Copies of this chain bind each other. A is one copy, B any other.
Amino acid sequence: MIKIEGGVCAAKGFTANGVHCGLRKNQTKRDLSLIVSDREASAAAVYTQNLVKGAPLFVTKAHLEDGKARAVICNSGNANTCNANGIEIAEGMCALVEKYTGIPQNDVVVASTGVIGQPLSLEPIASGMESLVKGLGDHNDFAAEGIMTTDTVKKEAAVSFTLGGKKCRMGGIAKGSGMIHPNMATMLVFITCDAAIAPSLLQKALCEDIKDTFNMISVDGDTSTNDMVTVLCNGAAENPVIETENEDYAIFCEALNTVTTSLCQAIAKDGEGASKGLTCKVTGAVDKENARIIAKSVICSNLFKAAMFGSDANWGRVLCAIGYSGAKLDVNKVDVSFVSDKGSILVCQNGAGVDFSEEKAKEILLEKDITIDITLKDGDASAVAWGCDLTYDYVRINGDYRS
């Protein structure tokens, strides 16, 4: 598993582009992206569990019923959600892809991100299609930029790996900064791969993977209406098609996990207003589910996140969040340590405070990447969750989002 460059263009047979079509006021900001495979690809997706769903999700779901797709179109600046004509607009975006590329509209994945509940006009999108399609090429950066909203950095990851003697590549881009609290899947994540794999196994691999990746991030506890993760595998690498859960499948899953974990960390660290990336590692839980619940509860606590912003070793808030998580555990056996590049410090042992150097703790917590190590001594299961601190900037950004 080798990390490589190229994002969604790393895999053979995939091109991408992103342009400014006018959905966003800032004319220097791309707001429309397209990813295209030169041949049919196996496709899988997972969607937000929010009852209020963006119209594009319904259209994408219908288009992926046959497990096949060839293109992804996505706009930012408007979520196309809670609009009376949302389905019509989402279908219109797919029809535009067919018109300009020849790819049948039911082979198109469509997504939108931005403000909820404001009518989305097809006009700017139609006007941008020609340059969008004309410029298709090795432009992962443009595509990554076109799906960004309040994101401050582009998020991409890619790996190369070998299946049946053939070199394969998998890469993805992600958008996500606020409304990050997945339940099955969240954010917009587009992954491309040139390996050959049956659609049903691709879907299975994705569903398994997100339990430990995209379902373990939280920025603000708000599950978005529009988010999905899609993977397209076009088989351009000419590996033997993966049709059973064999060794190749295991390697494929590992590649997927490497890409998704990397995107998860990038999303969490770029959480709206974040000044620090937080990783919560739970070990010694009675089972995986309880480990996940605890890791998520800590990473979601506003109080804990504000303490991390202040570099305050306030471990009582970690214990508090563990206590109300609803997980099964013996609170009298919990150990807590804070870890960063500056070292590690034990602050709580067997559920009670221990003497520790506040100076050393401060030095550790002033770093940009903090890990909270929680040891439960109840069993062998573990889990990791990713998040960020709660800052003044989170409030500023979200106090005035629509303008």
Contact = CB atoms under 8 A, between A and B. Distances in A.
Interface of A: 49-53, 79, 81-84, 115-119, 178-179, 181, 183, 220-225, 300-303, 306-307, 309-310, 312, 314-317, 319-325, 329, 331, 348, 351-353, 390-392, 394-403
A399 B82 contact: no
B220 A50 contact: no
A7 B310 CA distance: 36
20 contacts: A52-B319, A52-B351, A53-B323, A79-B316, A82-B352, A83-B352, A115-B316, A116-B320, A117-B348, A118-B316, A178-B303, A179-B320, A222-B303, A222-B321, A302-B302, A310-B398, A310-B401, A312-B403, A392-B392, A395-B395
Nearest to A53: B323
A225 B320 contact: yes
Contact of A50 (B84, B320, B398): B320
A223 B399 contact: no
Contacts of A400: 310, 312
A316 B395 contact: no
Contacts of A331: 51-52
A390 B396 CA distance: 10
A51 B331 CA distance: 7
B116 A317 contact: yes
A221 B309 CA distance: 18
Contacts of A324: 49-52, 181, 183, 222-223
B52 A320 contact: yes
Oligomer copy total: 2
Closest 10 CB pairs of A and B: A116-B316, A52-B323, A310-B399, A306-B398, A223-B324, A50-B323, A117-B353, A117-B316, A51-B323, A220-B302
A354 to B, nearest CB: 10
Given A49-B324, A222-B324, A316 B352 contact: no
Nearest to A321: B222
A51 B322 contact: yes
A353 B50 contact: no
A339 to B, nearest CB: 19
The CB with the most chain B CB atoms within 10 A, among A51, A81, A391, is that of A51
Contacts of A316: 79, 81-82, 115-118, 225
The CB with the most chain B CB atoms within 10 A, among A82, A83, A315, is that of A82
